[in-house]
Amino acid sequence: MKVLVYSAKEFEIPYLTAANNGKHKLTFIPESLNSKTAIKAVGFDAISIFSSDDANFMVIEKLKEFNIKYITLRSTGYDNANINAASRLNIKVANVPEYSPHAIAEHAVALLLALNRKINVSNTRVKNHNFNLNNLIGFDLNEKTVGVIGTGKIGSVFTKIMNGFGCKLLGFDRGENKTLVANFGMEYVDLETLCEKADIISLHVPLNADSQYLIDENCVEKMKPGVIIINTARGMVINTEHIINGLQNKTIGGLAMDVYENEKNLFFKDRSTQIPIDDMFVTLNAMPNVLITGHHAFLTDEALTNIAETTIYNLDCWSEDKASKNELYSLEAVTE
């Protein structure tokens, strides 16, 4: 099968090449998928896309015209792909439903620890031979209340780690994880109660109609003064403008994030010689109580191996005219 791999990163190509083992003809290009670059897929059977690619309705229609039959995502989230349009046009789409919940959860914990204990600030001082300890005070995690929004695979791992720190745990999700309740004392509450009681809030939900801007000014107004927010989910799960207001009025004590709602125009490229034309990002990046990483929570050897192997598995199934267990279907297809 001839496969065009969009948004191919230098770090992932060896993993995909090893997993493929010569079975499919992979062509790697750094360009992301959009309405202008879709034409590059001419002559291929399938494409592979990353979370920053845009497979919207118009792009899907173009891919159909170019005889693309399969799309395999190198991510769990698929909010960047119009599954309904693909289903209607008989283009099969599959994702990587689980590559390493530990990678994301552990990164969330790393962000929390670094932000709380001012690790970056302290390290910068030491590099400049400044050993002053002023303004480096954090707090013990032990006995603090942690609100976990989304208690699926990633949220569950995060919960277990926080339990190890001796934290009290509040959960918010559509359904309760009874294992977390029984083994780690997780107490499920509504979103308002979680915001009112949590010292730390960590987000682990997919982006959909229910979760978009889930954390907005109404939630911020109910939060405990000094609350720390960790977002390793999707950028648009929080309303960035409302979060900035909360940081400025000191309702929010700190924000650590690996994702950003406008990251498509910023992340995954070296822009060190450019000034970002994004006022919200510039504002956040200038705040001393904000810690940002560039969507690299998934970057572990284990996760990249699993992503590559699952991507090739999806292609193997399709090349053998079999259904992949990771295929995504539109709501219309499910209810028919």
The distance from CA 318 to its chain's CA centroid, rounded to whole angstroms, is 27
Question: How far apart, in whole angstroms, are the C-alpha atoms of residue 271 and residue 333?
Answer: 42
Please check whether residue 211 is in contact with residue 235, taking contact to mean a CB–CB distance below 8 angstroms: no
Q: Which residue in 61, 234, 242, 261 is the catalytic one? A: 234
Residues in the chain, total: 336
End-to-end CA distance of the chain: 31
Query: Residue 73's beta-bridge partner residues?
Result: 49
263 is catalytic: yes
Amino acid 251 reads T
Task: Report how far apart, in Å, the C-alpha atoms of 274 and of each of 266, 279, 285 are.
Answer: 10, 14, 14
Please check whether residue 81 is in contact with residue 55, taking contact to mean a CB–CB distance below 8 angstroms: yes
SS3 50: coil
- 184 contact partners, CB below 8 Å, separation of at least 6: 159, 160, 163, 169
Q: Which residue in 61, 106, 261, 263 is the catalytic one? A: 263
Q: Which residue in 74, 204, 242, 295 is the catalytic one? A: 295
Strands 92-94 and 70-73 turn out to be: parallel
Phi, psi dihedral angles at 26 (to 5 degrees): -95, 130
The distance from CA 148 to its chain's CA centroid, rounded to whole angstroms, is 15
Tokens read off for 28 = 């790697």
Please check whether residue 238 is in contact with residue 290, taking contact to mean a CB–CB distance below 8 angstroms: no
302 is catalytic: no
Question: With the CA atoms of 40, 44, 45 and 49 taken in that order, what torsion angle do they form, in degrees rounded to the nearest 10?
Answer: -40
Task: Report how far apart, in Å, the C-alpha atoms of 168 and of each of 102, 106, 139, 142, 275 are.
Answer: 20, 18, 15, 8, 42
Annotated catalytic residues are: 234, 263, 295
